[in-house]
Structure 1
Amino acid sequence: MARLILASGSPRRAELLKQLGLSFEQLSPDIDETQKVVERASDYVARLAKEKANTVLNKHLDATIIAADTCICIDGQILGKPKSKQHAFRMWQQLSGRTHHVFTGVCVVNKDYQEYCVVETQVKFQQLSLNDMEYYWATEEPLGKAGGYAIQGIAACYIPEIKGSYTNVVGLPLHETVMLLKACLPQKEFL
């Protein structure tokens, strides 16, 4: 089996890869994640996924690297991780009763190959009351999550509909990741 490295510190991405039965190492590259001026969400996540993958590859040329970056976008604005309760409430007010977009860039790279893709999923939130927001904040689940929510957790009860890949919203679209790995690795080495 080829040596695989997940270039991410995300426990959610690691859990998703483990679902596939893959053995891999996990390294978290240190890159500048600042969004460039007038950079679209899809371009932003693609750029970060490629930078993460190549940063790790430069130190581990014998490995195949999987990297990803996910963002929440509404009204052309990327919503980051909540910095405070007030920040989370502002984001949820934007998302409340509306559909937003989740973009994940995935890059698979080794010394002979580099390919990437961007996956988009539409997520609809119910109208959130102040009580909903107070309750959800108190769970501490929103901390460290883009857009201030985790679809695989309590937030699922606020989401009546998604269009597209569920695993994309969690942080790693598995179907597309497998397609990139199959293109990169010989069949005998993967699934």
Structure 2
Amino acid sequence: MANLILASSSPRRRELLQQLGLTFEILSPDIDETVLVNESITDYVCRLAETKAQTVLIRRPHATVLAADTSLVFNDQIIGKPESKQHAFEIWSLLSEQVHEVLTGICVATAVSCQTKVVRTRVEFQKLSLDDMERYWATGEPLGKAGAYAIQGIAAQYVTRIEGSYSNVVGLPLHETVQLLKAVKALN
């Protein structure tokens, strides 16, 4: 396989990619992640994944670059990381007994090819009580997580249903990632 670079500082993406048994290095690009006026969430995650990949490819033109961007979406709004305990409780109140989506834009770029795909996963939460929220906040797990939860951790107990890729919710849809790597001939 060509020299593979993961254009991300996410430990979850690193762990997921390691599950595939691939050898890769990490170069994390610093890009502006501002949502553009009238930009759809699908276009947003695609644009960020492509921008990350192209930014790293400029520095390493002979590499195969894998980049991704994940957003948690509820009622057509991106739900980011909690800024405080109160903010986390507000997020969980929105997600309680509701279905939200996780969208990941994936991009695999080389000097001669750039393949992008968006993966959507629907996640449903149980009704979250104030006690549930207090206990979960006390674990520290929600900090730094979009939607204030980590499906691969303690929050799994609150998920009643998932439709689509589990690894997408963690941060990198593995099946689709492998398909893109094959499409640019980075994998056999």
Range of TM-score over shorter length: over 0.9
Q: Who is 1:42 aligned against?
A: 42
How many pairs were matched up? 188
Superposed, 1:32-181 pairs within 5 Å as: 32-181=32-181
Aligned amino acid, residue 33 of structure 2: E
Looking at structure 2, the residues matched to 59 and 26 of structure 1 have their Cα atoms a distance apart, in angstroms, of 12
Secondary structure of 2:109's counterpart equals: strand
Deviates more, 1:32-41 or 1:11-20: 32-41
What are the superposed Cα offsets for residues 99-149 of structure 1, whole Å, 9 maximum, x if unpaired? 001000000001011010000000000000011111111111111111111
**Offset of residue 27 of structure 1:** 1.3
RMSD of aligned alpha carbons: 0.9
Secondary structure of 1:62's counterpart equals: coil
Whether 1:10 aligns to 2:10 is yes
Looking at structure 2, the residues matched to 41 and 153 of structure 1 have their Cα atoms a distance apart, in angstroms, of 26
Q: Who is 2:26 aligned against?
A: 26
Looking at structure 2, the residues matched to 19 and 104 of structure 1 have their Cα atoms a distance apart, in angstroms, of 18
Aligned amino acid, residue 66 of structure 1: L
Structure 1 residue ranges (4+ consecutive) displaced by more than 6 angstroms after TM superposition = none
Looking at structure 2, the residues matched to 86 and 36 of structure 1 have their Cα atoms a distance apart, in angstroms, of 27
Secondary structure of 1:123's counterpart equals: strand
Q: Share of identical aligned residues, percent?
A: 63
The gaps in structure 2 that reach 5 residues or longer are none
**Offset of residue 182 of structure 1:** 0.3
Query: Taking structure 2 as the reference length, what is the TM-score of the superposition?
Result: 0.98
Q: Who is 2:185 aligned against?
A: 185
Looking at structure 1, the residues matched to 36 and 138 of structure 2 have their Cα atoms a distance apart, in angstroms, of 33
**Offset of residue 35 of structure 1:** 1.2
Secondary structure of 1:137's counterpart equals: helix
**Offset of residue 37 of structure 1:** 2.2
**Offset of residue 62 of structure 1:** 1.1
The gaps in structure 1 that reach 5 residues or longer are none
What are the superposed Cα offsets for residues 2-51 of structure 1, whole Å, 9 maximum, x if unpaired? 10000000000011100110000011110001112232211111110001
